[in-house]
Amino acid sequence: MVCHNCQTEAKKHGTSRQGIQRFRCRACNKTFIEPQTKPLDTMRLSVEKAVMVLSLLVEGCSVRSVERVTGVHRDTILDLLVLVGSRCERLLETRIKNIAVKDVQADEVWGWVAMKEKTKKAKGIENDNIGDAYCFIAIERDTKLVLAWHLGRRSAEDTMIFTEKLNEATQGRFQLTTDGFKAYMYAVSYSLGTRVDFAQLVKVYAAQREREQRYSPAEVVETIRQIQIGDPEYHRICTSHIERQNLTVRMAMRRMTRLTNGFSRKWENLKAAYALYFAWYNFVRVHSTLRVTPAMESGITGHVWTIEELLGQ
């Protein structure tokens, strides 16, 4: 080890409280420790413990249950989630780009932060980071790759941001199917209109039955296929795959499970949880039908990633 001050050879000088080797310069007598790789930046949490925490989070455990299992404080768990979530968001933006696709389906998953929109309006709160939070998701039908996602409101502005992300993630001409949300018509036309065959699958629901339970699903009585742009293949106008993906999201993210108290209290935590889940889903989780990860099926990577590799991004 060479002293960084006078560039002379140093000798070992015990260890720090964390067990890291210390050195003392023979010339200037200054002490220092050997360089350390910091996959968790300034966090003192060990990599092994961090991997265990993240593995439990992506398998649907709540923050407090992870705290009980691992012994890591819940505040540290949330700090780790935000740190890794930001890295996963950058990873998805850099690696999922200009992907050749054939059949894409898009939909929105509803959730909320702190309270539902109805309660927010009743209390007169105007904070944009509180209330309903919709996550727009687009997947490739054959490879199951999550191409783009965006957390926001179910508005024309956020729909436009989502379609712009989808435009950057894909290349070539492809077929796109969404639900009947009207904001898609202008957003898709603006962002993807020159290279997409776009159709919407509109579902018609039956009227509420007498004495129907509050949370029982509405009955779909008819589906209408509406061609909006280009010439999509009629038999491929479908949203079943993305709707099944929405179920996987709710199963793998505790804060998205219905009728529980595990919902997010902060917008940044929900966004980080989505980023972690989508990175884990694309690169780490082996799809049972494909028998490889969606990223491998798309040719983005050649092996199944580990949680440690996500930490190192």
Query: What range defines the domain where residue 21 resides?
Result: 1-36
- Which pLDDT belongs to residue 2? 81
- Which pLDDT belongs to residue 208? 67
On whether both 61 and 10 belong to a single domain, the answer is no
For residue 307, what are the CA distances in angstroms to 56, 225, 282, 284? 11, 41, 12, 7
On whether both 4 and 53 belong to a single domain, the answer is no
Residue with tokens 């989508």: 278
Total domains in the fold of the chain = 2
On whether both 128 and 106 belong to a single domain, the answer is yes
On whether both 67 and 156 belong to a single domain, the answer is yes
- Which pLDDT belongs to residue 278? 97
Instruction: For CA atoms 158, 160, 165, 169, give the dihedral sign.
Output: positive
- Domain containing 121 — which CATH number? 3.30.420.10
On whether both 28 and 80 belong to a single domain, the answer is no
Q: Is residue 76 classed exposed, middle or buried when 0-12, 13-18 and 19+ CB atoms within 10 A define those classes?
A: middle
On whether both 137 and 223 belong to a single domain, the answer is yes
- 213: which residues sit within 8 A by CB, 6+ positions away? none
Q: Print pLDDT tens along the chain (313 aa).
A: 788 778 888 888 888 776 778 888 888 888 878 776 677 877 888 889 999 999 999 999 999 999 999 999 999 999 999 999 999 999 999 999 999 999 999 999 999 999 999 999 999 999 999 999 999 999 999 999 999 999 999 999 999 999 999 999 999 999 999 999 999 999 999 999 889 999 999 988 777 665 555 666 677 778 899 999 999 999 999 999 999 999 999 999 999 998 888 999 999 999 999 999 999 999 999 999 999 999 999 999 999 999 999 887 7
